[in-house]
Every structure is written in C-alpha cells, then in structure tokens.
Structure 1
C-alpha cells in the first residue's frame, strides 16, 4: 500500500493557480534548455522513500482543504550551496483533484497513510467541472 505526503500549497488561491504556476515553471525551464520536470524543494528528506515511490502522491492543501494531488516520481536529496541538506520531491506535472477535506495549517510536510487520503474526484462528476470557489461554497451550504 503506497504512502503519501501532504503539504500546504503556499501562495496558491486555487487548484487552477497551482496548475498555471506549474505550466509557467515548466515553460521557463524549456526556454532555458533545462530538464523539463516539476519538483518541490524541501529541507527535510523523507526516510520512507520506497513506500512513497510505490504509487505515492503529494497531496496539496489549498485554502484550508486537501484539494488535489500529484504523483511522486522521484525523491532526490542534495546539499545546497550553503551546505544545508535539502530534497527535491519530483512529481508528474498533472494535478488530480480529490474530494476536498478540511485540513488545518502545519509546517513542512507530513506523511499521509493511504487509508487517510481522500479519493480522487471523479472526472465525470458534475462537481469536478465546477470552479473551486463555487464547489467550496456549495459544500459549505450542504448542497454538495
């Protein structure tokens, strides 16, 4: 059973913001002739790498809700120019919406067991087609 990570998506107001940011960064890398891959750099290096890379994802918390996920592809520890150990969490650039679930703030990343991870939001459902804000408001009103 895969293990996942969960992290706050700082600076993003919506899933669309995250998707646009990913597209922008990948285009910049392509223009500079760099490898076109998406990663997030973090200070702490996960120790349960084998479990994470066995089908694990990085779940993003946006505006107080677990909102989406990206499949993990690789975990690359490195030492930066200041001699500090860091890690690149390499992900597929495809963002999968999940059934939103409230999540309070926390620092860094946390492990997320597969049984605790929200399921993907079905692509064929009406709710998947709604804008994030509208979906959030309808849920608050108990209509979704």
Structure 2
C-alpha cells in the first residue's frame, strides 16, 4: 500500500483542463518562484502524508479529469491577516481516467487506491471528448 494521501478539489469556474492550465499561468495563481498554487483557508493535518508523493485531483464540471503533483505547502497571509495554506503544485497536469464526483466544499483527502489512474501514455493527446459525452461515459464506467 502507498504511504501517501492525495487531495481532491473542485475547480470552480473551470471549463476544461486547458482552462485550468491557463489559470495556472496567471500571476495571481503563482508563487514568487512561478509555480502554480492553490490557496486554501485550512492547512491539511496530513501534510507529511501528502508531501510523501500526493497529488491534487481536480474535479472539472463534475468529473475528475486531471491531477497535479503537490510539491510543498507555503504559509501565506490574506489581506485580512489570516494565515492560509498555499498548496504549491508541479506545473504539469496529468490527465486521468474520468470519474464522476458529486459537488462538495473545500478539499477532501483521497486515498491513493481510490484515485483514478492516469491515462495511458499516448492517450493524453487524444481528441477531447465533449463534456456531455465524457460525463455519460463516466456514468457507465467506460472511461
């Protein structure tokens, strides 16, 4: 069994994996060293397990579609002076097999054995499946 845990998060307002990539290229979504980050109010209690190989799995339009390796967690303070956690990510997005996910707030832990597998090498560049077809295929377990 793997010794790490992942996070899963809704990518609110994201239309596609490509729009998530575009967002990560903006300055507001980056650390000072240019890496993408996601800032969250709560600091994960299982930080050591996450940093031992975990990724963040992104839910886009109700379907887990990709993941990014988590590199570190930085302390940041909002304009309100409240301490927050910046989850710093590897810029490379790995497409995963589609898996339906009901809406939820914040982030959740995702055991490695429950995470959808990455798409096989060579399938990452396949034609993009329309959202409605992607959801239908995920519902019947084809993707």
TM-score, normalised on structure 2? Answer: 0.84
- Counterpart pick for 1:133 among 112, 121, 130: 130
1:55, 1:71 within 8 Å by CA — same for their partners in 2?
Answer: yes
Q: Which residue of 2 aligns with 1:40?
A: 38
1:100-124 deviations in whole A, cap 9, x for unaligned? Answer: 1000100000000001100001132
User: RMSD of the alignment, in Å?
Assistant: 2.7
| Number of aligned residue pairs | 139
Unpaired runs of 5+ residues, structure 2, are: none
Change (3 A) 1:117 1:137: closer
2:35, 2:91 within 8 Å by CA — same for their partners in 1?
Answer: yes
Is residue 76 of structure 1 aligned with residue 78 of structure 2? no
Map 1:51-90 onto structure 2 (within 5 A): 51-90=49-88
Change (3 A) 1:76 1:8: same
1:57, 1:71 within 8 Å by CA — same for their partners in 2?
Answer: yes
Unpaired runs of 5+ residues, structure 1, are: none
Is residue 6 of structure 1 aligned with residue 8 of structure 2? yes
Q: Which residue of 2 aligns with 1:16?
A: 18
Q: Looking at CA atoms only, which structure, 1 or 2, has the larger radius of gyration?
A: 1
Higher helix share: 1
Q: Which residue of 1 aligns with 2:93?
A: 95
1:46 to partner: Cα distance: 0.3
Deviation above 3 Å: which 4+ runs of structure 1?
140-144
